[in-house]
Structure 1
């Protein structure tokens, strides 16, 4: 009886515990993958049975549910097993769903939807979708194989999708993560962002296949997704490619459940990780307090047992920091954006980097103190805002109207994360460093208080705007979980430009407010929606008046209105006017903003603009997209309007919004320059009108459109676009202004007619799209069509110029793809003992037009001078894209001065050299070179490259007295100029997981060639050569605390008659690092470099965070000559110390020793 009572007590306690637990669980998610094998359904059957016992079950099949053959049979079996779950089953595509191409994914989706209530996601041909899982969780589904596919192989990929490229995909992923903030976010995709699965040695280092974890495309995908997710809260990745069960904690939890069938070996992870190679599945429980629990079940002895459980996410309320909120602050508070120390710089610093508006950032201003629960009837925080610089919080009032609370102090880390470290999460590692401080100081180029002025100026000229108000906002109870990031500083609060504020007068009271992405979709869909060109032109001229260069896509929202005939038009609502009246003074800042193309848009505000072209480079593609039908008359009309309506009194009144403490001579100077720029505005707008219309992009719609291009007299070309009874465009371009036009048909069966016999025609490039387009060119002058090769097209005139290739990037419209070019000048400085200091310059001219791979053409000129030899070289390299599809044409040239030098110690593996007896010059041979080559070049997306190169080269050796070369017979023809013709071809594959410090990587290549002397035809001076190379990086420990790196390379010449400058050599930084350059010369060479690299730790400096370490090195090698009797192998040993700065660059300083003595070697990066 006692035992029975004891058992009863345990049973009742278990029952109570079970009841409490079930009440806490809000929803359960069962996760599995690789379910395609219908002969092995144990896991699915177990999930089906157990899911009936929980509240709100969801089953995720994370890819590979469909085999290559008998797809329907496999799906029928799975759907039958899971039929009791209905719409709570979600299939996600994996690599097997794509094995028969893009269409098979769509077919599988349709079959599942037709034959069950289960879902397929992402659906509707999109790569990403999301859905709510109750009130507290969101599921984002990603088709990761879509990203990894070669889109050139799929003509109709993305045809129905709004996401047309991978950049838009990442933006969409980031936007969905941001919108889901405050909730638990599950990201379900087939390919994991982290895995401990065991892979073969070659797979580990190569990444040949897109399914391999180290593949370039795959690495880009996982690194970018991970970086975005780490910057958010409560994100969990769910994946199924690895055929095992894993939990990897890390910065973002990764759950892997792919063990439904065949199994894959797996390694142990970190202390909090879990892994097992047994059949099973994962169950995730979402609790009512916002926690997520994971339970892993594995098949053991015929039973599914729980083998691991963990709390993946804790409730946010569990770790809240406790604040003592100060409430008696007063009605106003004096505060500054920066500390006095941060805003104070030396005179020398200011001379180099400028004065800017730094003083305003350290000046305290008196601002109203507000508490959000009383402001505007009470505001509630909703979520953090986006932006690449701003720290912002979305607020909502009791009526549902939303506002934005934005700190005047910008975030340097957000800017660096968004622009410099897109694939590496930097967190707070740069806080307090020189980079952080410099960027914070660079922000002082913008006046922090001019956004409060813009509203008054906008009202005067009739441009929509927000209405920011300055406040001091203390930390407070209403901020809740956001107190750790917000509060106790100066903020502006303004209307959020969205649908909750459509009644705002300053937004024009529209029917709806759209994003730029929404507008682009609307105008391309049917042609019934257009941008109101006059209001947009006015807004753009107003940008020029303000000096606001930062007008990228997210800086615009659009007010939607309807005409009586049902058509729609959108007027712009500019926002975020942070860059108005910017100041880029200081010697170095002024220099950098002139020579670096990406910074040329940053121009100090003055009465005129230095360069309208560069100033408008950020919104240039938008201007080309939205402005087609307006000539100079419209631009002039809008300029006249602004000049007339914006009076001196309006300017003075607008600047009254500046805090009293900031008013003074600097503000007076801005006002004076604003008045001057207003008076110069017609000159500025005319210059930009001419620049904008030099090149034009015109698009049709997703429907069937008729394009009529008519060549007229006097160099004019009429472009007319019609769809049924709807006229989309009718505009005449003049060759005096417009030099090139791109026409995009987009989707639909479009017709392109070219007629008329006008003179001086404008160059026109027509891109048809994905349907069967008709090209009827009665006049073929200066017009060329581009379309897919493997789809049906109708080309009436067979003499039409055409380029038909399966090239996704070429044949699909991207509004950001525009024609442009730039020049860049870069200095060169380097050092090694043989050459001395190398001083030089590189000049690059790069052009981007319609056809790219990855550019249209590029010219590079390199000039360098060497102090130790007084020699110089001059080289040219040109590359021209797509001479054949994906094959580029190359041009190369090299000239060296007669005093340019190389080393020669004689032929043989044991040539003599005594560093104590002979100076460095003794073995230096002055040699004048001339080289020229043309080439065909190919580069693959996964790391492969190939070239074929006919060449010609010429050498003349100087017979210098008192040097080794003088020992050669004076009758040697080497002292006469010798010219060679030849051919060379090479293949190389290179893929490393990091540029700064690779721990896994492969670099393998083979070069073969043939050269013959065409000057000395009497001599049999011809030979062939083979140059193989293999570089491997592989970590010896899981953490990468020891990395083994080796390079094996050599050369073999075939033929006996060759000169020393063509011979196989070893010695120097690229081979035996303890010897001089070209130390040993022969007919064949071989060497191996081996490094053991030891990361020792991190170093947080005031400059940037560093990782540092040591390398131990050993090299060996030799050369062979004809009838060689030498058995000697040369070796060198060395050690080096290295620093990696911010995971972006590596500095390496080493010492290497050999029988010839020691050498100090300095390099950027590792030598292999």
Structure 2
């Protein structure tokens, strides 16, 4: 295994310091603490809720924590307190249970350090979502006045970084979510990592980024973990940890107290329970004690870290004493590194360097054609840049911390006054933003190559252009960063690179006119918090619109929340602050889109936001995708007139001369390459700004959120006339008096479909009035506190236009004829999600399939999704596909539509299936023992053609997360084509003595469907159950069509065993039966493509059918190729089934068996190839996904 030189040095150091540690552990004498100043202590204990541990650990903590002081942390891992649950306040034993908790919490009451709890699950459960457990957590947080004591938050697995100081990093993990079957499956989860692979990848990134720090990883191990699961988990951890020598890993499993060592990693257990757990192979035990206690890791000024175990002095004395002490590691601290540089002199004054931003984007002509010409020459061209002298710039700077997202390396720097700046790499490293399996594939090369579409020196031009536009801005400077020892541990990542240096807009900027001389600059999250807390605070929306329209001109499409800071100012003569935006991180200005692949990728159904910088914005709505939440939060009050006035003023402010002056600030060699084109495109985009502003205003105006605060407001809605609706929001003081207007806008019926009023907290009042013929739909979402809602409005027509959402209790409602009452007993009815907006979608679909009967089938179509209020995952979905089978010249057209909550909580499903004009399929007769010998008869003899039309409309609803009920009418019409010398013609004559079978037949029906689906992943299930039931009643409507009924269903079960490799057993059983007279095409079938492999399509047909499919899917390995990563495995299967037909006495069962391979590219989809064998045939099968 290859390791950088720095890793070898670290490894050597750890081995050297560990050898004496191993020898001293064998002696009964405990070594003395080092002769160095103690700088920090991390105290860790586990499972202290255990009866035997509680009586010992609590007194020890009472002794240790006061002495540890503020330069310490204490971490409780797993089931730390007893009782684990609390009863309701009304229960008699509530006070008693609280007192038990208070007794255990006593050591933390006056603790000056940082306390953290990684909680275990109650009663061995995986999820901690039961109310009694939540009550216990809420009580602890309130009692200790620490709302963030439970970590990681939100039930996330982590890893959670806690930077103790510049030398120590604590990482917390909850491994419950890493165990088989316990992964987070909620696609809307806010956890930074949900799957085990993501957790490990993120942990790896953290450890690599902070390789120079002393690191503790503390992990909660579920107490119900199975021995083999634990062994598997520890083995995987060990393989991963050994890439990061010196790490200290602490968990709450196993022996009460234990220290072991392997591959330069220290493993510490604070299980605090009796009994031994066998050490993983290769670990050397240095200490073990079968008694409760705590572990303490002490960090010293000389860079040493020492481990101590502290236990009770003796069974009758709970005074803590050190039972074990040993040296773990020695790393130079930042103070030591800084001290070593004293006396060294560096002077880069007047030094310049001829350097290119990057040579990584030099490409062949073919690559340029495929991926774009882009700004490759600009990146590769050398320019003269001054040296970055950290000791001289801004009077001398020091590194505060490393920052940056996944793509950019950056340092936060501070001058002697505390003013902060940012130094970030011009070069990007986008592979870090990719999922780990994609980082060594073509995907990494593509995203890296597309950095060439961004202009390396664009930020240089924007300061003066922003001045002309009257927009706040940073003032970036470009430097060459030398190999400077003063950068310390960050030297390796920045030496000999080009860096962009600029102010960090934060806190007091009263001397910075380009930040508005604001005394308090804030981030977006803090502004949102201020707006919700107090309705006296307000955003200057015209300044936001101005800044956003400036983005249109320069083509900056990446304007999400974190790309903004906010200058705050006290209102003149009023309470509260007003906020104005400060854009930052202008890396995407002038981003272009060239080349075949990027051009395809910019289509509206893929990544339309990367349309590219040219003389026009192709689609202004999708161009602003990354700002979708920002704009719907901070641009809700402006009228079309406001937008046009702002656009025209901005257009007039940015003259041709200003544009030319700004772009000429590019280094001369760079200006010659792209300056003239950028100038031309900027002028064109500026001139088109009013048009683009109108288009974007109309897009935003369709649905508008008007959001209150946690204070009280009055929302007034006046339906003025058919064309206009006025919304005014006023503050209500604590005494109940109406104060200033905090929101006002006139909406136009022609522009706006919905207005959504959110009260949030406070005692809000909503009044709706006015009688009109046409009006806008108004949704009122009351909020958490007591609200009053009065609707006296009236809009002509059958549909209601005022929708009210609130809890039913403690609110006052006066509803009118226009009110649709959607109140509920559930608090979620009042939820406000500023990130709920989802774009409508229209995109193409394609398909290719193969089987022996139909040959190659080609398909094409479209998927359309539209969105609606609180309709997840969509309001309506339309899937339209047309297929053509080359071998049989068969056509098929299908439409699947799904409409969410079309009538209250009921959904509507529509299905069309048209097979015409000569749809080709097979029929071998009715019965379980119909004859077919492929050596004697051509398959074409059994084919027939037809025209078939099917439609159903089903109304239903979802029950919980996994169940669906649907009921509705259906229609079917089928017309068989009379084809001489085919089996179907002989069958018709033999059965009926005529050819009436070939007359058109029409049926009407009533169908019911029930579905239960708990599978973890529909395309590649490893666990869960799938049940589908589908009874139907059918009546003949024309000709000699007969009435009949059908009962059908199937059950699929999935179970996975992961040790030593992942083996998934899947079993499906299905059956169906017809009642009454039915035609052959309505028979229940066993089919070689769907339920009985090894046989032809539609091989057996009868009144009743039964089948069972069993599969064993074995995952062999993960793989990594240049094109994509994935996994690969093999499968074996056995199918059995039969049909029953009237007047047939058959005891025969048909079986098919076989095997195959499967591959899962990127672990997102499955492609499988199977070979099926039966007594009758041998069939190769290629399919997307598994059979079931």
TM-score bracket, shorter-length normalisation? 0.7 to 0.9
Deviation string 1:362-384 (CA, Å, 9 cap, x unpaired) is: 33333333343444343333333
Q: Do residues 975 (structure 1) and 989 (structure 2) align?
A: no
Provide the secondary structure at the position in 1 that maps to 2:444: helix
Q: Displacement, 1:311? A: 11
In structure 2, the residue matched to 1:1088 is: 1109
1:74 aligned to 2:83?
no
* Residue 708 in structure 1 maps to residue 728 in structure 2: no
Secondary structure of 2:407's counterpart equals coil
Which whole-Å CA distance do the structure 2 matches of 1:912 and 1:1134 have between them? 23
Partner secondary structure for residue 1030 of structure 2: strand
Other-structure match for 1:185: 170
Summarize the alignment of residues 311-460 of structure 1 with structure 2, pairs less than 5 Å apart: 331-339=351-359, 342-347=361-366, 349-416=367-434, 421=435, 426=436, 429-460=437-468
- The 5 A counterparts of 1:525-564 are 525-564=533-572
Partner residue in 2 for 1:285: 297
**Post-superposition shift, 1:1053?**
0.7
In the alignment, which residue of structure 2 is the partner of 1:201? none
The alignment status of 1:46 with 2:56, answered yes or no, reads yes
CA distance in 2 between partners of 1:569 and 1:371 (Å)? 38
How many residues are aligned here? 1081
Aligned equivalents of 1:93, 1:12: Cα separation in 2: 35
The Cα of 1:1158 is off from its aligned counterpart by 2.9
Q: Is the 8 A contact 2:663 2:678 kept in 1?
A: no
**Residues 807 and 337 of structure 1, relative CA distance in 2, 3 Å threshold:** farther
1:2-21, aligned counterparts within 5 Å?
14-15=28-29, 17-20=31-34
The answer (yes or no) to whether the contact 1:242–1:264 under 8 Å persists in 2 is: no
> Are positions 1:574 and 2:583 aligned together?
yes
CA deviation string 1:500-552 (max 9, x = no partner):
65543322221111111111221222211111123222111111111212111
CA–CA separation in structure 1 for the residues paired with 2:811 and 2:378: 63
Q: How does 1:88-167 map to 2 (within 5 A)?
A: 88=111, 108=136, 112=140, 119=144, 121=146, 123=147, 129=148, 141-144=151-154
In the alignment, structure 1 residue 60 sits paired with structure 2 residue 76: yes
SS in 2 for 1:855: strand
Q: Is the 8 A contact 1:243 1:262 kept in 2?
A: no
- Compared CA separation, residues 1156 and 618, structure 1 to 2 (3 A): same
Match of 1:1140 in 2: 1160
In the alignment, is the contact (CA less than 8 A) between 2:988 and 2:995 conserved in 1?
yes
Report the alpha carbon displacement of residue 562 of structure 1 after superposing the two structures with TM.
0.7
1:955 aligns to 2:974 (yes or no):
yes
Deviations along 1:644-663, one digit per CA (max 9) or x if unpaired, are 33232322222233223222
Instruction: Quote the offset at 1:635 in angstroms.
Output: 2.9
Q: 1:11 to 1:869 in 2, by over 3 A?
A: closer
Q: Which residue does 1:165 correspond to in 2?
A: none
Task: Please give the alpha-carbon distance, in whole angstroms, between the structure 1 residues aligned to 2:680 and 2:1105.
Answer: 75
Matched residues in 2 for 1:31 and 1:261: separation?
A: 8
Relative to structure 1, is the Cα distance of residues 758 and 408 closer, same or farther in structure 2, using a 3 angstrom cutoff?
same
Deviations along 1:753-777, one digit per CA (max 9) or x if unpaired, are: 1123345322222111122221111
Q: CA deviation at 1:728?
A: 1.0
Match of 1:727 among 741, 748, 766: 741
CA distance in 2, matches of 1:1141, 1:326: 55
| Structure 2 CA distance for partners of 1:326 and 1:585, relative to 1, 3 Å | farther
Structure 2 counterparts to residues 759-770 of structure 1, below 5 A: 759-770=773-784
- Mapped to 2, the partners of 1:1043 and 1:467 lie a distance apart of 58
**2:703 alignment counterpart:** 695
C-alpha contact (below 8 Å) 1:743/1:767 kept by paired residues: yes
Alignment match of 1:844 (pick from 863, 880, 892): 863
CA deviation map 1:685-719 (0-9, x unaligned): 23333333343221122112111111223622221
Cα offset, 1:779, TM superposition = 0.9
| Counterparts of residues 731-1130 of structure 1 (less than 5 Å) | 731-781=745-795, 783-799=801-817, 800-805=819-824, 811-818=830-837, 820-883=839-902, 886-939=905-958, 943-970=962-989, 971=994, 973-976=996-999, 977-992=1001-1016, 1000-1015=1022-1037, 1021-1035=1043-1057, 1037-1038=1059-1060, 1040=1061, 1042-1055=1062-1075, 1057-1082=1077-1102, 1083-1096=1104-1117, 1098=1119, 1100-1122=1120-1142, 1125-1130=1145-1150
Answer yes or no: is the 8 Å Cα contact 1:819–1:850 preserved in 2.
no
> Separation in 1 of the partners of 2:325 and 2:1158?
40
Deviations along 1:269-288, whole A, 9 cap, x unmatched? Answer: 78669999999676353533
Deviations along 1:25-50, one digit per CA (max 9) or x if unpaired, are 94243433483xxxx73211121244
Distance 1:188 1:747 in 2: 34
Q: Which moved more, 1:979-988 or 1:932-941?
A: 932-941
Judged with a 3 Å threshold, the aligned counterparts in structure 2 of structure 1 residues 652 and 206 are, in CA distance, closer, same or farther, namely: closer
Q: Is the CA contact 1:243–1:257 (under 8 Å) kept in the aligned structure 2?
A: no
Any stretches of 5+ residues in structure 2 without a counterpart? 1-22, 88-92, 208-214, 242-248, 257-270, 733-738
- Tell me, yes or no, if the aligned pair for 2:867 and 2:875 is still in contact at 8 Å: yes
Q: Distance in 2 between matches of 1:693 and 1:856?
A: 19
In structure 1, the gaps of 5 or more residues are 1-8, 124-128, 131-139, 148-169, 196-203
The answer as to whether partners of 2:47 and 2:53 remain within 8 angstroms in 1 is: no
- Is the 8 Å Cα contact of residues 946 and 988 (structure 1) preserved in structure 2? no
**Contact 1:280 1:299 (C-alpha < 8 Å) held by counterparts:** no
Whole-angstrom distance in 2 between the partners of 1:903 and 1:784: 56
TM-score normalised by the chain length of structure 1: 0.83
C-alpha contact (below 8 Å) 1:29/1:58 kept by paired residues: yes
SS in 2 for 1:853: strand
- CA deviations on 1:340-398 (whole Å, 9 max, x unpaired) are 6x421334x43443322233233333333334344434333333323353232322333
Distance in 2 between residues matched to 1:1030 and 1:411, nearest whole Å: 45
Are the aligned partners of 2:639 and 2:745 in contact in 1 as well (CA < 8 Å)?
no
- Kindly indicate whether the alpha-carbon contact (under 8 Å) linking 1:1150 and 1:1160 is maintained by their aligned counterparts in 2: yes
SS in 2 for 1:141: coil
Q: Residues 1164 and 485 of structure 1: is their aligned pair in 2 closer, same or farther, counting only changes over 3 Å?
A: farther
Hey, what does 1:162 align to over in structure 2? none
Aligned match of 2:251:
255
Counterpart CA distance in 1 for 2:916 and 2:315 is: 79
More divergent stretch after superposition (89-98 vs 383-392)? 89-98
Give the structure-2-normalised TM-score. Answer: 0.81
User: Which deviates the most, 1022-1031 or 696-705?
Assistant: 1022-1031
**Offset of residue 950 of structure 1:** 3.9
Between stretches 521-530 and 269-278, larger displacement belongs to 269-278
Pair 1:1018–1:93, CA change in 2 (3 A): same
Distance 2:930 2:97 in 1: 71
SS in 2 for 1:231: helix
In structure 2, the partner of 1:479 is 487
Q: Which shifted more, 745-754 or 472-481?
A: 472-481
Aligned to 1:1156: 1176
